[in-house]
Structure formats: structure tokens, C-alpha cells
Structure 1
Amino acid sequence: MPNDKLRSYLHFHVIVFIWGFTAILGALISLDAVPLVWYRMLMASVFILLWIKWKKKKLRLAPKRVLVMLIAGVVIALHWLTFFGAIKVSNVSITLALLSTGAFFTSFLEPIFYKRKVIWYEILFGLIVMVGLYVIFRVETEYVLGILLALVSAFLSAVFSLINGKLAKQEDASVISFYELLTGTGAITVYLLILTYFAGGNGGFSADFFSVSAADWGYLLILASVCTAYAFIASVAVMRHLSPYTIMLTINLEPVYGILLAFWIFGSEEKMAPGFYYGAVIILTTVILNGFLKTKRKIRRQRKANF
């Protein structure tokens, strides 16, 4: 069991690095957020279905669990729409730095999902994170929309993590991923059909929507296969051995990986005002300290239980 947890933890670090690269691909792809996410989820659904068929896994599930997966599918679609939307209206650094607040959303949502008490320092650290956000808001006034979209994306990632934390203990990871991604694709398709009906050629499934360059197809293929199908299945699988909070805490390395990659690839385009980095450091440091205290508290409780 300890070895399974260690392997899952190290494996999840690889997945988080891949997610950091996902932000880079989002910036490189010229498509807007909606078609980008639609293509990503559709292509990833196909890849995962092929995997399920190859492994001869059963797709039949209990109706109650399917309903939960449908909800999770809509949540992950909204998460990605706001995530890529934030990248398009701001940049990779802003989006990934704000995504780390997902750990705090998880801290406040876990008591609801898992019926536990709120810990006092979670509230204190939450207030400190707000200070970090305030600093970023003050210095990056031109990216307010991107900041808000990134915060919504972080909240949705916390909700999704908590939902999947329960599902992963009951169902196969690839089957969960297939249902969720297919649901997300369906939800966006319905939105686009409505937009097509009311807006005609000005939105929805227009000729421009299906006009994708060769470079974008290449990026989408990597995004859908490695960064989505593989990473999605693997991330759900490791949830069998890791708690939702540990997952969200590890995800906080995504900004580090992603911002470093962004500097390497985009150079000066990702350079921000000093205040942004001060705010980001406040947020990340607080999140790490919160995780340290949580781990220490958990170990102490386990020792007491043994005696």
C-alpha cells in the first residue's frame, strides 16, 4: 500500500507537468476557447473509447453513478472553457498562478463533500490568499477578466477533483473519463447548436469553426492524446491512492512547471510586473504551508488512533 501511494504520487507529478504544458498548447493554438475545448474533448473521447475497446472494459454503470459522471462532465467542460478563456484574454503566467487557489477552494469544499469540520488555519490561510490576489489585481489591471476566469476555473477544478475522488474508488478510470469527456462534448455541442440557430453565421457551427490550420491540428492531437486522454485516465487512477487535497496540493506545481515553460517558449511575452510575482509567491507559499500543516495533523491523528 505505501509503495502504491508513492508510485501514484510520483506518477501524478508527471501528469501535473503535462498539464503545465497544456497551458502552453492553449496559447499556441489559434482557436478560441470554445472550439478548442470542443475539439479537445471530442478527440480525447475517441482515444479513450479505443482504449476501452482494446482493453475490453464494460461501459455499463449504475444509473446513479452515470448521473454523477454527467455532472462531472459538465463541470470539467466549464473548467477547461474558463481555463483556456483566461489564457486567451491574459497569458499563461496569470492563468496558472491563479489556478493554484484551487487548493483553498478544496479546503472549504471538503467539509461539505466529506462531512468534516473546517480547520481554523484554513480560514486564516484563505484570508492570506486573498491578500495575494489583491496584490495581483492591483498591479495587473489590464488582465482583470483573465484573473476572474482563472479563479472560476480553479473553483471548478476543486469541485471536479472532489467528485472524481469518490468516483475513482468505485469505477474504472478510463470509463469514468470517457463518460465525463463525452458529456462535456455533448454539453458544448448543445450550446453551439443553440448559438448556430440564433446567431446563424456569426457563431456556433460556422465555416470558421471547422477551419483549422495544420499546425493547430498537430497541437490538438498532442493536447487530446497525451495531455487529455492519457493524463485524464492516469489522474483519475491515482485518486485511488491519493486524497483530493493531496491531488490539489500537487496540482499547485502546475504553475511552476507551466510558467517556466512559458518563459522558455514565449520569452518576454510572459514577463509580468514585480507585484504579480509577489502575489503569486504569497499564494503558493501559503498553499504549501497549509499542506504541510494538514499532513502533520493527519500523522498526529493516525498516531493517536494507533495508541
Structure 2
Amino acid sequence: MASFRHYLELHFIVFVWGFTAILGKLISIPAVELVFLRTLIAAAALAIIIKFTGKSYRIGRKPIIKIIGVGMMIAAHWMLFFASARVSSVSICLAGMATSSLWTAILEPLFFRKKIKPHEIGLALLIFFGLYLIFQFEFDHALGILMGVGSAMLGAAFSIINSRLTRTYSPINITCYEMVGACLGTALFMPFYLLFLSPDNTLLLVLTAMDWVYLFTLALVCTVYPFTGSVRLMQRIPIFNMNLSINLEPVYGIVFAYFIFGESEHMSTGFYLGALIILFSVFIHPFLDRRYESRQLQTTLPNGIGGVGHE
């Protein structure tokens, strides 16, 4: 059962994640190299924590393979995330990420064979209308918004899978093996990246002193603690509620980006209107969901029970 303390910790984690896209843009290396180094550092740090806290690495071969597979999905999520911020802006990237609750609402019924709720279809259409406004007024950033939306979809998918994994395995073990999987997935992607996507067919791994500061902040402060903490909180907080709170990340990130990057993050009125529609759709969902569940309960109760005038 989730308490106020659990939601307070989740909100702090989302606040920390608000800096992620900004740090990704500040670090001078491309997205693929950035994800590889981020996950390598995070996996090493988590392995050290497991060692010095006396916990076991052993959770079984099949679960490790499954969790590493989820980690590869996380790698794709982060590569799209950072690439979106690079090819467009932090604000565009985070606007795309604001669709994560939409993807959760769509994917969770598919993963667990549940019925899709009618009001969620309506909200999905409203969110796509918000994205249409962003596309219409910020068409030059179409690739960035598509990458952001794709990243949100992958993020929703691995969050749904993690919500089941936390019922069986330790959050720190899950996070460690997922970071290993993300690092491995990025490494396996590199040959394709070098052949078709890298500008000079080379890896750019030369970092400045400030790059290393930003990178370790990203890997440790914005990855190890918040990622492990969010996986642990999935044991207490429903996954849709988690992703609903995580949608505050774009709000924090866009505000932080404006103060850090200034005019380069300034968008058209259409962008802000579209982003506002997306966020409105996200935050109105729990109220509509509560109303829907109440109506479903009324229809399943025997005639007269709970109704007006029952004696």
C-alpha cells in the first residue's frame, strides 16, 4: 500500500529526472556513445553497491536473460530520448515524452489482456491532437518529436514489465542487470550505428573535464538512485499512477531548459498549446478513470444495492 512518503519520494525522483535531458544536451558526445558510457558507469556502480551491501547477484539464469532483454529496450529508449534533444530541443523531446501515460494506457491492456477503457481512447485522440498542433507549428522539429514519442512508448513498455518483475526480484538486482543489458544492447547496436548513422563512421568518446562531471552526475545522481528507487516504488504504487507522476518530468525539464539554454528553448504559441493539451489529458485521466470504475461497479452490483431508496 502506497503512503504519502512513497509518493513524496516518487515526486523527488521525477524532479531529479527533470535534469536528464539537459545533462544529455550539455555532454558533447552523441547519443549512442552517451548511453553506452552512462549505462556502463551505472552498471559498475550498482554492482559495487550489491557487493558491499552483502546482497547476492544470483537470481537465476532465465530471469537474468529476461531482465537483460528489458535493459536492451531501455537502451533504445534512452538513445531516442537523447537523440531527440540533440536534433530538436529539450522542450520538444520532453513534449514527446509526455505521452508516456498514453502509451501505458494502451500497452498495459495488451500486455495483460485487459479491456481498453473508452475514455482512454478519447484521451488518446486528444493527446494526438496536441501532438498535431506541435507538428503544425514546429514542423522543423518533426524528427525530434517522433523520437520523443518513440522513446515514451518504449519507456512505458519497460515500466509495465518492471512492475511485474518487482514482485519477485530485488529492485537493485533488476536495475543492475537492466543497466548491463542496456550497455550490452548499445554495444551490439554500434556496428550498425558506425556503418549508417555516425557522421564520420567513428565513435566519438573524447570528453572534456566538464563532460565527465556531467556524465557522472547523469549516471549516478540521475540514474542509479532514481532508477532503483522507481523500480522499488513499483512494489507500492500502480504503474499508471507512476507514469502519471513521471509526466511532471517534462514540466520541470522545460522550465529548467529555458533558464539554462535561454532563447534556444523558446517555442511558438502552438507548441505550448499542444504541450498543455497533452498534459491536461494526462492529469484528467485519473478523474475519468475513477468515474468509469464507479459506473462499472454500479452495473455489476445486484439490483438496488447501493441505489437510492434501498430499504
Normalised to the residue count of structure 1, the TM-score between the two structures is: 0.92
Indicate how the Cα distance of structure 1 residues 195 and 132 shifts in structure 2: closer, same or farther if over 3 A, else same: closer
Q: Output the amino acid matched with 1:66.
A: I
**SS of structure 1 residue aligned to 2:3:** helix
Indicate how the Cα distance of structure 1 residues 300 and 14 shifts in structure 2: closer, same or farther if over 3 A, else same: farther
- Residue 259 of structure 1 pairs with residue 254 of structure 2: yes
Deviation at 1:294, TM superposition (A): 2.0
Indicate how the Cα distance of structure 1 residues 300 and 63 shifts in structure 2: closer, same or farther if over 3 A, else same: farther
Matched residue, 2:16: 18
Q: Unaligned 5+ residue runs, structure 1?
A: none
Matched residue, 1:280: 275
**SS of structure 1 residue aligned to 2:206:** coil
Indicate how the Cα distance of structure 1 residues 290 and 36 shifts in structure 2: closer, same or farther if over 3 A, else same: same
Indicate how the Cα distance of structure 1 residues 54 and 301 shifts in structure 2: closer, same or farther if over 3 A, else same: farther
Q: Output the amino acid matched with 1:26.
A: G
Pairwise CA RMSD: 2.3
Cα deviation code 1:118-144 (max 9, x no counterpart): 111111111111111111100001101
Q: Unaligned 5+ residue runs, structure 2?
A: 307-311
Indicate how the Cα distance of structure 1 residues 196 and 118 shifts in structure 2: closer, same or farther if over 3 A, else same: closer
Q: Output the amino acid matched with 1:21.
A: F
Distance 1:302 1:54 in 2: 50
Matched residue, 1:245: 240
Which of the residues 57, 64, 76 maps onto 2:74? 76
Select the structure that is richer in helix.
1
- Residue 57 of structure 1 pairs with residue 52 of structure 2: no
Indicate how the Cα distance of structure 1 residues 47 and 299 shifts in structure 2: closer, same or farther if over 3 A, else same: farther
Matched residue, 1:181: 179
Matched residue, 2:309: none
Indicate how the Cα distance of structure 1 residues 200 and 279 shifts in structure 2: closer, same or farther if over 3 A, else same: closer
Deviation at 1:195, TM superposition (A): 5.6
Deviation at 1:190, TM superposition (A): 2.3
1:21-36 maps to which residues of 2 (within 5 A)? 21-36=19-34
Distance 2:198 2:76 in 1: 23
Distance 2:7 2:61 in 1: 31
Distance 1:52 1:26 in 2: 27
Q: Output the amino acid matched with 1:279.
A: G
8 Å CA contact 2:258, 2:265 repeated in 1: yes
> Structure 1 stretch 56-65 or stretch 30-39: which is displaced more?
56-65
Cα deviation code 1:7-32 (max 9, x no counterpart): 22111111111111111101111111
Normalised to the residue count of structure 2, the TM-score between the two structures is: 0.91
Which of the residues 212, 230, 234 maps onto 1:235? 230
Matched residue, 1:218: 213
> Structure 1 stretch 142-151 or stretch 5-14: which is displaced more?
5-14
Identity %: 40
Deviation at 1:197, TM superposition (A): 8.6
Which of the residues 166, 169, 194 maps onto 2:167? 169
Deviation at 1:168, TM superposition (A): 1.1
Deviation at 1:302, TM superposition (A): 8.3
Q: Output the amino acid matched with 2:267.
A: M
Distance 2:294 2:25 in 1: 41
Distance 2:268 2:114 in 1: 40
Indicate how the Cα distance of structure 1 residues 199 and 155 shifts in structure 2: closer, same or farther if over 3 A, else same: closer
Q: Output the amino acid matched with 2:245.
A: T
Distance 2:29 2:38 in 1: 11
- Residue 145 of structure 1 pairs with residue 143 of structure 2: yes
Point out the structure with max Rg over C-alpha: 2
Indicate how the Cα distance of structure 1 residues 194 and 266 shifts in structure 2: closer, same or farther if over 3 A, else same: closer
Distance 1:195 1:222 in 2: 26
> Structure 1 stretch 82-91 or stretch 9-18: which is displaced more?
9-18
Matched residue, 2:129: 131
Q: Output the amino acid matched with 1:52.
A: I
Matched residue, 2:158: 160
Cα deviation code 1:41-85 (max 9, x no counterpart): 000111111111111111111333223212210110000000000
Q: Output the amino acid matched with 1:77.
A: A
Cα deviation code 1:66-116 (max 9, x no counterpart): 232122101100000000000000111111111011101110111122221
- Residue 269 of structure 1 pairs with residue 264 of structure 2: yes
Indicate how the Cα distance of structure 1 residues 5 and 170 shifts in structure 2: closer, same or farther if over 3 A, else same: farther
Matched residue, 1:90: 88
Matched residue, 2:118: 120
Matched residue, 2:99: 101
> Structure 1 stretch 26-35 or stretch 82-91: which is displaced more?
26-35
Distance 2:3 2:225 in 1: 19
